[in-house]
């Protein structure tokens, strides 16, 4: 059974192990370490004592952004990201967020489907936002900006 709880900087190495296993261009340890406390919040998924997934969110007034969401490859496809995302949305609702935002690589169809199923919609495109190793691209990849209005906010 998967349990969920927030983590602090003590878990940064475990988060980085998942980050490195999941992303073509992972965050650095410095970036990950900067995402604890203050305007940041997170939730981690545990299989027993083992950290198998997480999200990191950022609060800016009424706007909450999903900065990162990852599930370790061995645990993907079991609904863990769906639960993490629904808990991110619940957290926003409980904290009176008006809008939820996220950015995703245009090629990340798996994540885009996850977000669409949860109710996020495409809002705009940030051209050449991410670095890319795809030989058919110019070294960069577009980001899709997605959002969800929780109340009568800006959207
Ligand atoms: C995207 C990611 C977080 C999904 O995690 P997961 O735990 O495997 O996802 P879930 O099992 O909860 O699946 C939720 C939904 O994601 C989509 N999805 C998951 N696996 C998929 C696959 N192999 N192909 C297509 N869609 C898939 C589906 O919409 C699925 O819902 P469904 O099963 O009802 O169709 C995971 O693949 C991951 O960590 N990827 C690398 C990091 C990343 O890209 N993060 C997003 C950055 S914006």
| pLDDT, tens digit (0-9, with 9 covering 90-100), for 48-76 | 999 999 999 999 999 999 999 999 999 99
Share of residues in the chain with pLDDT > 90 (%): 88
Distance between Cα 108 and ligand 1 center (Å) = 9
Residue minimizing CA distance to atom 20 of ligand 1: 77
Tokens of 19: 């980050």
Instruction: Report the pLDDT value the prediction gives residue 153, as an integer from 0 to 100.
Output: 47
Distance between Cα 111 and ligand 1 center (Å) = 5
Distance between CA atoms of residues 68 and 54, nearest Å: 8
Q: Does ligand 1 lie within 6 Å of residue 108's CB atom?
A: yes
- Provide the 8-state DSSP code for 87: H
What are the start-end ranges of the H helices in 6-146? Answer: 12-22, 29-33, 80-94, 109-118
Sheet with 40-47, edge to edge strand ranges: 2-5, 40-47, 50-60, 63-71, 99-105, 140-149, 121-131
Distance between CA atoms of residues 33 and 15, nearest Å: 10
pLDDT for residue 14 is more than 50: yes
Q: Which of 19, 55, 115, 130 is catalytic?
A: 115
Q: Does ligand 1 lie within 6 Å of residue 16's CB atom?
A: no
Tokens of 23: 């992303």
Distance between CA atoms of residues 101 and 1, nearest Å: 29
Give the confidence band of 132 by pLDDT, cuts at 50, 70, 90: confident
Instruction: Report the pLDDT value the prediction gives residue 152, as an integer from 0 to 100.
Output: 57
pLDDT tens per residue, range 114-131: 999 999 999 999 999 998
For the domain bounded by 2-149, which CATH number is listed? Answer: 3.40.630.30
pLDDT for residue 34 is more than 80: yes
Q: What residue ranges do the domains of the chain occupy? A: 2-149
Quote the Cα angle for 100-103-108, to 5°: 125
Nearest to 102 by CA among 51, 92, 34, 24: 92
């Amino acid at each position: 059974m998967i349990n969920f709880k927030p983590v602090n900087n003590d878990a940064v190495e475990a988060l980085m192990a998942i980050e490195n296993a999941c992303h073509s261009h992972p965050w650095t340890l410095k970036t990950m370490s900067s995402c604890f406390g203050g305007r940041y919040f997170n939730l981690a998924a545990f299989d027993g004592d083992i950290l198998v997934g997480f999200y990191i969110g950022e609060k800016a007034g009424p706007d909450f952004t999903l900065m990162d969401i990852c599930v370790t490859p061995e645990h993907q496809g079991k609904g863990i990201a769906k639960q993490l995302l629904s808990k991110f949305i619940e957290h926003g609702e409980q904290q009176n967020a008006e809008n939820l935002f996220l950015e995703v690589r245009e090629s990340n169809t798996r994540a885009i489907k996850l977000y669409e199923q949860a109710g996020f919609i495409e809002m705009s495109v940030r051209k050449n936002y991410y670095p890319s190793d795809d030989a058919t691209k110019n070294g960069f990849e577009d980001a899709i900006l997605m959002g969800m209005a929780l109340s009568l906010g800006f959207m």
